[in-house]
Chain A
Amino acid sequence: MEKELIKLIDTTKCTACRGCQVACKQWNEMPGLKTKQWGSYQNPPDLQWNTWTLIRFQEYVSDKGAFKWLFRKDGCMHCTDAACVKVCPSGALHHTEFGTVGLNSSRCIGCKECVSACPFDIPRYNRETDKIYKCDLCYNRLRGDESPSCVKSCPTGALTIGRKDAMTKKAYARAKELGGDANVYGDKFVGGTHVLYVLDEKAKVYDNLPRDPSVPFSIIVWKDMLKPLALLAAGGVLAGSFLHYILHGPKLPDEPGPNEPGKEEKGGE
């Protein structure tokens, strides 16, 4: 793909200022929700429907007794071989011309297939809107030749974005420069991710970061091997749906959306 992009997260330059966490909410118009101090700078404690990127704070003592405070910006890795795209029945999750995984919210039916399929535990479901949410690498900004809002906000250069080849080279050059256990994470699995990390420590050290992420085997069986069969059945499903619409009318959401007044205090899932 000519336009294929990679966002590089250099954890060794991140100061955990969390400008990216806020900028993401600002651009994507996500609310700030009620939280509690739970004994950590990491807040919200995990990704949630209104939090598409999160700085994870981790106190780490190496085998040699050296103390480090590790910061890792968590969020969608934008896989080439994306489990979420494979399982999404409605086409809401899709690959964009930049190689990233876009999300067309209006097509999301809230089936949560992607939530269980994602090897990085990224998509988050909101009960109130019956939809899933995740980073789309600011697709609307990329289309306008602007960097994603997280990259734009980063003061130290920990976040950068550019053409795939150049960024991969940059990542490896940086890891080499750092030496020690520094390594590049992301290009060796799920067909290569469109978010790469330069990690200071081995991947296994980091909380919530899979060492060898892959598309679940069941999904490969169902979607890659049996999909041709499923297509045969699709005609029947469409006919059935049309009949349902004629008899019962369109499906309506049960509750008002999250952006309506008085709804912002409720936590996500």
Chain B
Amino acid sequence: MTNHYIDLKNSDCILIMGSNAAEHHPIAFKWILRAKEKGAKIIHVDPRYTRTSARCDYHVPLRSGTDIAFLGGMINYIVNNDKWFKDYVLNYTNASFIVGPDFTFQDGLFSGYDAQKRKYNKDTWVLEKDSKGIPKRDMSLNDPRCVFQMMKTHYSRYTLDKVSSITGVSKENLLKVYEEYSATGVKDKAGTECYALGWTHHTTGSQIIRTMSMIQLLLGNMGICGGGVNALRGEPNVQGSTDHAILYNILPGYLKMPPASLDTLDKYLEKNTPVSKDPQSANYYQNYPKFFVSFLKSMFHDKATAENGFGYSWMPKLDDGVHYSLMHLFDKMYEGKIKGLFAVGTDPAVSSPNTNKVRKALEKLDWMVGENIFNNETYSFWKGPGVDPKQVKTEVFLLPASASMEKEGSQSNSGRWVQWKYKAAEAPGDGIPVGEITIKIMAAVRALYAKEGGVHPDPILNLKWDYTDIKGRYDALKVSKQINGYFLKDTVIEDKAAGTKTEFKKGQLVPTFGMLQVDGATASGNWVMAGSFTATGENRMAKRGKDDPTGLGLYPNWSYAWPVNRRIIYNRASCDIYGKPYNPKRKLLEWVGDKWVGDVPDGPWPPQADKEKGKYPFIMKADGLGALFGPGMVEGPFPEHYEPLEGPLAKNPLSGQLINPAIEIFKSDLDKVANADAKFPYVCTTYSCTEHWCSGALTRWQAWLLEMQPELYVEIGDLLARDLGIRNGAKVRVSSIRGAVECVAMVTKRFKPFQIEGKTVHQVGLPFNYGWLFPKDGSDSTNFLTPTVGDANTFCPEYKAFMVNVQKI
């Protein structure tokens, strides 16, 4: 989240789209209701009427996978009806920048596309610079090549008629949402957006979120109280997994995973350290080398020296152009190229797309190690439905782990608050924390390497690995301090602005990432967490102060929010260029005299009207401004609507390009696709329910929860059910070209048919919380239906839009 949960109460208009907040974030939803009680409008845009819709002002149904069309139409509306916040857009976005002369967009494709590789060459996606290397700007926004005009032209195609025909949303409803939401494009109003898996689970997921970011920039809703783009991340630890890099493509603190071609530290740092010639751009990522070298020091400590590139060569590298997402992993496993698997706290035999392929892939493993609090369908795949245990060679080990309440440590919530918590109970039986299991396994591995050498032993043997307490057990506090970081030698930190010098002793904790060093004087396992402890060792994550000096619900002394306890990021954009708050009633920050007062500002510099010392507000962007033109994405600088891999249409109504041109197409014999196929006429989407958690591997064993949601069901609109002769509560078979599940029909008025390109299109939906292991009559994984395909940037799988058939049994 750019903001945080409590801040939702400060909003004037909350668009919930791509989220079923009431069902999946029931506690967070409290703050949405607080806003509603104060008069905010709450809008739910979702294919299905859910428990969230029931508590919103109104619900607008849209066909799964058409969010960019819906939001693109909103950009068109905002621009044409002059709803954009001019002061903000001119000063705080790249609207006035000039797009390079060779950049084009034609019939759904941007310049530089290679159809063979399904990949763009981004060389033409550039902004023009003057002779000093500073971006050229046209502050009148009239230049036809300026970002604003290019954007306006791009979205002029997203007319009400066109958008309505693609999304199935009536024109009246489109206008209603557009008018209501864009009314926040003024100084004293704030609009926010809440999304979750309903946006990320698409082949265009990242671009949906980017489209919303553009809307928020146009309306001046970024960096303000009650604004922002807010991912509601849940207990599956999405926030922690990205902050601490459980994903393949990043290192802790969102540092980039090195590819093989960047074979030296210098090459790597040059590639990843952005340069800005604009004196008003803070370009904070110019400090990238400090963060990365400190990370290497945390990995290899004394063994990492300037001479050996701080151990850069010991870091694993990605093959260039190759991805290693969950889907790639199972694809390679299915090919027989992966021999062993650690499945820690996960149940991919239920939760990963294309279950038939996943379960076949598991059979090709030599060994698997599971770490969990319960057995699940993955660890028991060898005795699953249709599997003959005698034919499976895989050796499976299941190690009992303790649950989150049974161990000490930190928890990261969506608002970037990292809260320390203590052990509430002992784990039953032999259960121990996953950290403890890791310590034990690594001790054995290191001993083997020390004894036998083996292939490339250096990374293993040079690793700093002393995270145990005096009894030899995993010590969460020690790990957390390493993540925060230490001074490795006596260091004097000079603050030129304040004219002070402070000396830190070797072994002291680094109190903020601004003090990290590039020469190896500091170690930090995750730079964004530097500051979670004070220099004297106070654990700021354990703070529980209830004071709220701004009255805005920032609670600065409750836990630690990264970065540097900033509660709302980009917060300097809540003030005008002179540092005066746009909305004095919700004063997040103000430039008073020679300093910022309020939330922790995005840097100490004066506001940007001070041409000498002032800086732009978006300090993590090289140009310092919000990006309406965003060349970082793989499928183009302006988000464009493409149909899902499987949809009801044979042609994209907006262009000749049917699907996202940059997605990877998996090609195994089990990766079948049936687009616009009469055999699979219904759009299908999958989701969770309040009563279960993810694959249900933890919650299906809980009798109170199972009593409320005992088995798999498919929600079918009453009109479709009538056509198919399906009664409420009857058993049905739902099938895609990849597989099928049997379940109970829940006939409802909460799914309505859509009118798409002049035709009636029905949508159905199923929860993804069930598996064959338990309960025995609860059916099996919904993911038998889903395709192996994902977002082009993140490879987050498409669980939300594909095609099925529904039949009576």
Interface residues of A (CB under 8 A from B): 13, 15-19, 21-22, 25-26, 31-41, 43-44, 59, 61, 67-69, 71, 155-157, 264
Inter-chain contacts of B22 with A (CB < 8 A): 15, 17
Inter-chain contacts of A16 with B (CB < 8 A): 51, 54, 690
**Closest chain B residue, CB of each to CB of A66:** B58
Q: B728 contacts which of A32, A39, A71 (Cβ < 8 Å)? A: A39
Q: A35 touching B707 by the CB < 8 A rule? A: yes
**What is the 8 Å Cβ interface bit string for chain B, positions 737-772, against chain A (1 contact, 0 not)?**
000000111111110000000000000000000000
Complex-state Cα separation, A18 to B51, whole angstroms: 11
Q: Knowing A15-B54, A36-B711, A69-B53, say if A157 contacts B704 (CB, 8 Å).
A: no
Q: Knowing A16-B51, A37-B744, say if A43 contacts B26 (CB, 8 Å).
A: no
Q: B745 contacts which of A26, A34, A39 (Cβ < 8 Å)? A: A39
Q: A18 touching B708 by the CB < 8 A rule? A: yes
Q: A155 touching B29 by the CB < 8 A rule? A: yes
Q: Does B179 contact A (CB under 8 A)?
A: no
Q: A155 touching B27 by the CB < 8 A rule? A: yes
Q: Knowing A43-B708, A68-B54, say if A38 contacts B729 (CB, 8 Å).
A: yes
Q: Does B55 contact A (CB under 8 A)?
A: yes
Complex-state Cα separation, A41 to B708, whole angstroms: 7
Q: Does B455 contact A (CB under 8 A)?
A: no
B66-116 residues at the A interface, CB under 8 angstroms: none
Chain B nearest CB, measured from A193 CB (Å): 25
Chain B nearest CB, measured from A6 CB (Å): 21
Complex-state Cα separation, A133 to B743, whole angstroms: 33
Inter-chain contacts of A26 with B (CB < 8 A): 704
Chain B nearest CB, measured from A81 CB (Å): 33
Q: Does B713 contact A (CB under 8 A)?
A: yes
Inter-chain contacts of B33 with A (CB < 8 A): 13, 156-157
Q: A31 touching B711 by the CB < 8 A rule? A: no
Interface residues of B (CB under 8 A from A): 22-23, 26-27, 29-30, 33, 49, 51-55, 690-691, 702-713, 728-730, 743-750
Q: A32 touching B704 by the CB < 8 A rule? A: yes
Q: B745 touching A25 by the CB < 8 A rule? A: no
Chain B nearest CB, measured from A118 CB (Å): 23
Chain A nearest CB, measured from B729 CB (Å): 4
Complex-state Cα separation, A61 to B718, whole angstroms: 13
Q: Other CB < 8 Å A-B pairs besides A25-B704, A35-B708, 7 of them?
A: A22-B708, A35-B706, A36-B744, A37-B710, A37-B744, A67-B49, A155-B26
**Closest chain B residue, CB of each to CB of A36:** B710
Chain A nearest CB, measured from B675 CB (Å): 31
Inter-chain contacts of B49 with A (CB < 8 A): 67, 69
The 4 lowest CB-CB distance pairs between A and B, nearest first, are A32-B703, A39-B729, A39-B728, A32-B707
Inter-chain contacts of A33 with B (CB < 8 A): 703, 707
Inter-chain contacts of A71 with B (CB < 8 A): 51, 54
Q: A39 contacts which of B26, B29, B746 (Cβ < 8 Å)? A: B746
Q: B704 contacts which of A15, A22, A155 (Cβ < 8 Å)? A: A22
Complex-state Cα separation, A117 to B804, whole angstroms: 51
Complex-state Cα separation, A18 to B702, whole angstroms: 15
Q: B29 touching A15 by the CB < 8 A rule? A: yes
Chain B nearest CB, measured from A188 CB (Å): 26
**Closest chain B residue, CB of each to CB of A71:** B54
Q: A40 touching B30 by the CB < 8 A rule? A: no
Q: B707 touching A155 by the CB < 8 A rule? A: no
Inter-chain contacts of A39 with B (CB < 8 A): 713, 728-730, 744-747
Q: B710 touching A61 by the CB < 8 A rule? A: no
Complex-state Cα separation, A25 to B709, whole angstroms: 16
Complex-state Cα separation, A61 to B752, whole angstroms: 14
Complex-state Cα separation, A121 to B691, whole angstroms: 26
Q: B711 contacts which of A37, A41, A59, A61 (Cβ < 8 Å)? A: A37
Q: A18 touching B710 by the CB < 8 A rule? A: no
Chain A nearest CB, measured from B359 CB (Å): 24
Inter-chain contacts of A156 with B (CB < 8 A): 26, 29-30, 33
Chain A nearest CB, measured from B44 CB (Å): 12
Q: B690 touching A18 by the CB < 8 A rule? A: yes
Q: Knowing A17-B690, A32-B704, A67-B49, say if A61 contacts B749 (CB, 8 Å).
A: yes
Inter-chain contacts of B30 with A (CB < 8 A): 155-157
Q: A40 touching B26 by the CB < 8 A rule? A: no
Q: B709 contacts which of A43, A59, A155, A264 (Cβ < 8 Å)? A: A43
Inter-chain contacts of B744 with A (CB < 8 A): 36-39
Q: B746 touching A40 by the CB < 8 A rule? A: yes
Chain A CB count within 10 A is highest, among B707, B710, B728, for B707
Complex-state Cα separation, A157 to B30, whole angstroms: 8
Q: B746 contacts which of A22, A31, A35, A37 (Cβ < 8 Å)? A: A37
Q: B702 contacts which of A15, A32, A37, A67 (Cβ < 8 Å)? A: A32
Inter-chain contacts of B708 with A (CB < 8 A): 18, 21-22, 35, 41, 43
**A-B contact list, 13 entries, CB within 8 Å:** A17-B22, A17-B23, A18-B708, A22-B705, A33-B707, A35-B706, A37-B743, A37-B744, A39-B728, A43-B709, A67-B749, A156-B29, A157-B30
Chain B nearest CB, measured from A78 CB (Å): 24
Inter-chain contacts of B51 with A (CB < 8 A): 15-17, 69, 71
Inter-chain contacts of B750 with A (CB < 8 A): 59, 67, 69
Inter-chain contacts of A157 with B (CB < 8 A): 30, 33
Complex-state Cα separation, A66 to B709, whole angstroms: 28
Chain A nearest CB, measured from B41 CB (Å): 16
**Closest chain A residue, CB of each to CB of B53:** A69
Inter-chain contacts of A19 with B (CB < 8 A): 26
**Closest chain A residue, CB of each to CB of B55:** A15
Inter-chain contacts of B690 with A (CB < 8 A): 16-18
**Closest chain A residue, CB of each to CB of B745:** A39
Inter-chain contacts of A15 with B (CB < 8 A): 22-23, 26, 29, 51-52, 54-55
Q: B703 contacts which of A18, A31, A61, A68 (Cβ < 8 Å)? A: A31
**Closest chain A residue, CB of each to CB of B718:** A59
Complex-state Cα separation, A40 to B83, whole angstroms: 43
Inter-chain contacts of B728 with A (CB < 8 A): 39-40
Complex-state Cα separation, A71 to B729, whole angstroms: 20
Q: A34 touching B704 by the CB < 8 A rule? A: no
Complex-state Cα separation, A40 to B54, whole angstroms: 16
Chain A nearest CB, measured from B699 CB (Å): 11
Chain A nearest CB, measured from B27 CB (Å): 5
Q: A37 touching B713 by the CB < 8 A rule? A: yes
Chain B nearest CB, measured from A106 CB (Å): 25
Complex-state Cα separation, A17 to B55, whole angstroms: 12
Complex-state Cα separation, A61 to B750, whole angstroms: 11
Q: B29 touching A32 by the CB < 8 A rule? A: no
Complex-state Cα separation, A15 to B52, whole angstroms: 7
Inter-chain contacts of A59 with B (CB < 8 A): 748-750
Chain A CB count within 10 A is highest, among B23, B51, B708, B730, for B708
**Closest chain B residue, CB of each to CB of A18:** B708
Inter-chain contacts of B730 with A (CB < 8 A): 39
Chain B CB count within 10 A is highest, among A18, A37, A155, for A37
Inter-chain contacts of A32 with B (CB < 8 A): 702-707
Complex-state Cα separation, A116 to B385, whole angstroms: 48
Complex-state Cα separation, A71 to B745, whole angstroms: 21
Inter-chain contacts of B729 with A (CB < 8 A): 37-39
Chain B nearest CB, measured from A151 CB (Å): 14
Chain B nearest CB, measured from A133 CB (Å): 16
Complex-state Cα separation, A39 to B750, whole angstroms: 13
Complex-state Cα separation, A80 to B89, whole angstroms: 63
Complex-state Cα separation, A16 to B708, whole angstroms: 12
Complex-state Cα separation, A124 to B153, whole angstroms: 67
Inter-chain contacts of A25 with B (CB < 8 A): 704
**Closest chain A residue, CB of each to CB of B708:** A43
Complex-state Cα separation, A136 to B702, whole angstroms: 25
Complex-state Cα separation, A43 to B746, whole angstroms: 13
Inter-chain contacts of B711 with A (CB < 8 A): 36-37
Complex-state Cα separation, A40 to B712, whole angstroms: 12
Chain A nearest CB, measured from B10 CB (Å): 18
Complex-state Cα separation, A67 to B752, whole angstroms: 11
Chain A nearest CB, measured from B701 CB (Å): 11
Complex-state Cα separation, A157 to B708, whole angstroms: 22
